[in-house]
Amino acid sequence: MTSIPVTTDGRGSRIEQPEYDAVLDEVTRWVQDPGEEWAERIEETGTVPRELFDELKQRGYLSMAAPRDLGGRGLAFSQWMGLMEVFSRSHASIRMLVHVLNGTWRAINPHVTEAQREKFVKPMIAGELLVAFTLTEPGNGTGADITSTVRREGDTYLLNGRKHLITFGVNCDYWLLFARLEGTSGKEGTVALLVDRHAPGVEVEDTSQTMGVHGTDHASLTFTDTPVPVAQRLGEEGDGLAIALGGFLTPSRISVAMSCVGLAERAQELAVDYATGRVTFGKPIASRQAVAFMIAENEADIQAAKQLTLHAARRWEEGADDAPALSSMAKMTAVDMLTRVTDKALQVHGGIGYWKTSPIERVYRDARAQRFEEGTNEIQKTVVARDVFTRAAQKENA
């Protein structure tokens, strides 16, 4: 299988500033009005209605970050981060949809044949196919220790193994799944496959009962000699982890970091509104130094994380070698920031913030998910430390 080299990975395109400003204004107005109505409906029903998916698709919000020649809007990655910041102020499931669908194509596009690009990538960008990133396993980490295996019989791989915590794994069209050839270890022999959601030999368990991010479905998957056409392999045998970790996780970690910034901004907005409106002893509580200091600390925290995240986004956009480490720095900084900001924002509300009738309650609950999305902070610290020590060794040997 021969991969066709492409440069359209979203790094080189950019729209003009007036057009971008108009898009940003449109998205902001949507998030503040219909987006909030959808958020209330999701919380009431516990599901993401198909009508919401269709509306996001019709508005072009699921294809913002893709190049125009693939059917996308052509935003640069750093421009997309500005929109991600705004979308993340909405319901977490809305953020999850636009985050995943604007990014999964990026992992596979540089590794596909032209036929695969027409069959999978362009329909993904158009919102006609929902593909779930499928790496994590219940008994392993999320890297070279994966144990799901395939063995080849003619033009078919037979897949065996288990995956869990798979976002959109119940209702997707395909799983972008990573496994290894039987008998291999480490990164050698890893493969990336597009597995049909309705392929035989698959047991799908819906595990969507989560603390937050209500409405987004999650799955545990068991594969028993599930047939996957070799034509649905991406890249070559041995490319699996490179596709998973490089093509998806680096920009996705930056995107998650920016989602933390957006959600923290929403928490801060709610805290400020409450502090200026809540009166005790004849004065708004915003006049109390204890409250004002929490608001000030939140503001500084948010801005610091935002600037690091934008720096990481620009470095990835430039193809810089330090982008992977910066993505981990941004993600671990932003999730810690979000924890502090939402905790203080809830504290500003006092006891009333603990009730589900208060918007800050949902924000506080949803914020916990980013702590492990695209790898825990412990994983991010490992990536950063490895980069620091590698650069130190290179400097010493120079």
Q: Please give the C-alpha separations between residue 122 and each of 25, 116, 178, in angstroms, as whole numbers.
A: 27, 9, 21
Catalytic residue list contains 373: no
Query: What span, in angstroms and rounded, lies between the C-alpha atoms of 36 and 360?
Result: 13
DSSP string for residues in 323-385: HHHHHHHHHHHHHHHHHHHHHHHHHHHGGGGGSTTSHHHHHHHHHGGGGTTTS-HHHHHHHHH
- Sequence-separated (6 or more) residues with CB below 8 Å from residue 218: 165, 166, 167, 168, 169, 170, 206, 207, 208, 210
- Is residue 234 within 8 Å of 120, Cβ to Cβ? no
Q: Please give the C-alpha separations between residue 170 and each of 105, 122, 178, 192, 202, in angstroms, as whole numbers.
A: 19, 22, 17, 19, 11
Q: Which amino acid is at 161?
A: G
Query: What span, in angstroms and rounded, lies between the C-alpha atoms of 185 and 146?
Result: 9
Nearest 5°: CA angle at 211, between 341 and 361?
A: 45
Query: What span, in angstroms and rounded, lies between the C-alpha atoms of 56 and 115?
Result: 27
From 51, 85, 374, 378, the catalytic residue: 374
Nearest 5°: CA angle at 263, between 261 and 268?
A: 90
Active centre residues (catalytic): 374
